[in-house]
C-alpha cells in the first residue's frame, strides 16, 4: 500500500509538471508569433472596387450629416455686442488704463440690443474675453484645489504664489485665478420691466459638489494693496459662489466664453433690450476685448458652423477622391493577382 501511494504521488507530480511545461510551451509559441507578427489576423485585400465604394459611402454619409448640422447651427439665434471700447468716456479714450483704475469715475454703461429673430427661453448670457491667456502655465498653477475643498484647514498653499498671503494671513480662495475674478455685471430691461437673470446652476454640478467646500467661506480675499478683480461675499460658502466656480475652470484658448446666467423669458423679434452694465474689469492693460453674448440653444448646443462645414468638406473630399480613383481604374485597369497565392496564404496552401 505504501508503494502504491508513493507511485500515485510520483505520477501526480509528473502530470503536474507536464501540464506546466505544456502551458509554458504554448505561451512561448504564442509570444513568438506575436513578436514576429505572425498571429492569425484579418488581412483584407483593398481592391479598387472596395476603395472606391468606401470613399463614396463616406461621402454619402458625411455630406447630409453636415447639412443637417449646419442647419441646426443656423437656427440658433445669437447676439454679440462688444462694449469695452464704447463704454469708455470720450476724455479717456486715449488713456483707457487710467479710466479703469480710477475708482472715482463711474463705470456705468448703457447698451441697446435689438432682437432680430424670436428667441425662445432659456436664453443664455455669456461674457467673452479675447486675448486673455488663462492657459498660461504660471496662471494655471496658481491655485490650491485642496484649499478650495477644505478651507483654512489646509495649510500648504505654496502653489498659490504670489497671491498666497495678505498682511501675513492666508487668503481663501488663494491664487491668481481667483484673484482675477471677472466682475462686470449686467442688468436687462425690456420696456419698463427688468428681466430676471437666473444665475443658479451655471456651474458644473461635479464642481459644486466635489471641488468646492460647502463649509468653506472666503477669508481675507481682495484685501491686498493691488485688487485684481471681483470680491466675494464672506457669508456664502464657495460651493454656492457659482460665478467663481465658472471662472476657476480655466479656458484652453485666449478667446473664450463663460456662462453668466439665463433669461427664462421669450424675446420677440424687434424687441429692444436696454443693457445696464458695470464696466469694472480691466482688459485695457493687455489689449483685451470684452463682449456680451445672448444665445439660444438646440440639440446641437450653441452656434457652431465649423462642425457642419467640416462634415461637408470631408464628405465632398471623399466623393472627389472616389471619382478620381474610378477614372484612374477605368482608364488604366489592372489585373488582380491570385489572392490564394498571396504571401500570407502561401503557408496554408503548402500545408
Q: Are residues 88 and 49 in the same domain?
A: no
The three cell numbers of residue 149 are 475643498
Maximum CA pair distance of the chain? 115
Q: What is the pLDDT of residue 308?
A: 93
Q: What is the pLDDT of residue 126?
A: 97
Q: What is the pLDDT of residue 258?
A: 96
pLDDT in tens, 239-253: 999 999 999 999 999
Q: What is the pLDDT of residue 338?
A: 60
Listing DSSP states for 260-311 in one string gives EEEE-S-B-TT-EEEEEEE-----GGGT-EEEEEEE--BTTBS--HHHHHHH
Residue 274: burial class (beta carbons within 10 Å; 0-12, 13-18, 19+): middle
Q: Are residues 183 and 324 in the same domain?
A: no
Phi-psi region of 120 (alpha: psi -120 to 50; beta: other; left: phi over 0): beta
Q: What domain count does the chain have?
A: 2
Domain that holds residue 305: 43-76+301-334
Q: Are residues 58 and 160 in the same domain?
A: no
The residue written with cell numbers 442647419 in the block is 71
326 domain residue, yes or no:
yes
197 domain residue, yes or no:
no
250 domain residue, yes or no:
yes
Q: Are residues 109 and 209 in the same domain?
A: yes
Q: At what angle do helices 305-331 and 48-74 cross, to 10 degrees?
A: 160
Q: Which residues of the chain have pLDDT under 70?
A: 1-22, 24-25, 32-34, 36-41, 336-351
Q: Are residues 224 and 176 in the same domain?
A: yes
Question: Do the Cβ atoms of 172 and 147 come closer than 8 Å?
Answer: yes
Q: Are residues 238 and 95 in the same domain?
A: yes
20 domain residue, yes or no:
no
Q: Are residues 155 and 241 in the same domain?
A: yes
Amino acid at each position: 500500500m505504501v508503494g502504491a501511494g508513493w507511485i500515485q504521488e510520483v505520477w501526480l507530480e509528473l502530470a503536474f509538471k507536464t501540464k506546466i511545461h505544456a502551458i509554458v510551451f504554448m505561451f512561448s509559441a504564442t509570444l513568438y508569433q506575436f513578436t514576429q507578427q505572425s498571429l492569425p489576423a484579418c488581412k483584407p485585400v483593398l481592391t479598387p472596387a472596395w476603395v472606391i465604394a468606401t470613399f463614396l459611402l463616406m461621402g454619402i454619409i458625411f455630406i447630409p450629416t453636415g447639412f443637417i448640422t449646419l442647419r441646426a447651427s443656423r437656427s440658433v439665434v445669437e447676439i454679440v455686442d462688444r462694449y469695452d471700447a464704447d463704454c469708455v468716456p470720450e476724455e479717456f479714450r486715449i488713456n483707457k488704463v487710467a479710466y479703469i483704475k480710477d475708482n472715482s469715475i463711474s463705470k456705468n454703461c448703457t447698451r441697446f440690443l435689438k432682437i432680430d429673430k424670436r428667441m425662445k427661453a432659456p436664453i443664455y448670457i455669456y461674457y467673452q474675453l479675447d486675448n486673455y491667456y488663462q492657459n498660461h502655465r504660471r496662471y494655471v498653477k496658481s491655485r490650491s484645489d485642496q484649499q478650495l475643498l477644505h478651507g483654512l484647514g489646509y495649510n500648504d498653499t505654496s502653489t498659490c504664489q504670489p497671491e498666497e498671503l495678505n498682511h501675513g494671513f492666508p487668503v481663501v480662495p488663494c491664487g491668481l485665478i481667483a484673484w482675477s475674478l471677472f466682475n462686470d455685471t449686467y442688468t436687462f430691461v425690456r420696456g419698463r420691466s427688468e428681466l430676471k437673470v437666473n444665475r443658479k446652476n451655471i456651474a458644473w454640478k461635479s464642481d459644486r459638489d466635489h471641488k468646492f467646500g460647502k463649509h468653506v467661506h472666503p477669508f481675507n480675499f481682495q484685501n491686498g494693496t493691488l485688487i485684481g478683480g471681483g470680491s466675494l461675499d464672506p457669508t456664502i460658502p464657495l460651493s454656492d459662489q457659482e460665478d467663481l466656480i465658472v471662472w476657476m475652470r480655466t479656458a484652453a484658448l485666449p478667446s473664450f466664453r463663460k456662462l453668466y446666467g439665463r433669461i427664462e423669458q421669450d424675446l420677440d423679434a424687434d424687441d429692444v433690450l436696454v443693457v445696464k452694465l458695470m464696466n469694472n474689469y480691466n482688459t485695457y492693460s493687455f489689449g483685451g476685448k470684452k463682449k456680451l453674448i445672448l444665445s439660444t440653444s438646440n440639440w446641437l448646443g450653441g452656434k457652431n458652423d465649423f462642425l457642419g462645414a467640416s462634415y461637408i468638406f470631408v464628405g465632398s473630399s471623399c466623393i472627389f477622391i472616389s471619382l478620381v480613383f474610378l477614372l484612374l481604374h477605368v482608364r488604366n485597369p489592372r489585373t488582380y493577382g491570385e489572392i490564394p497565392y498571396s504571401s500570407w496564404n502561401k503557408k496554408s496552401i503548402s500545408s
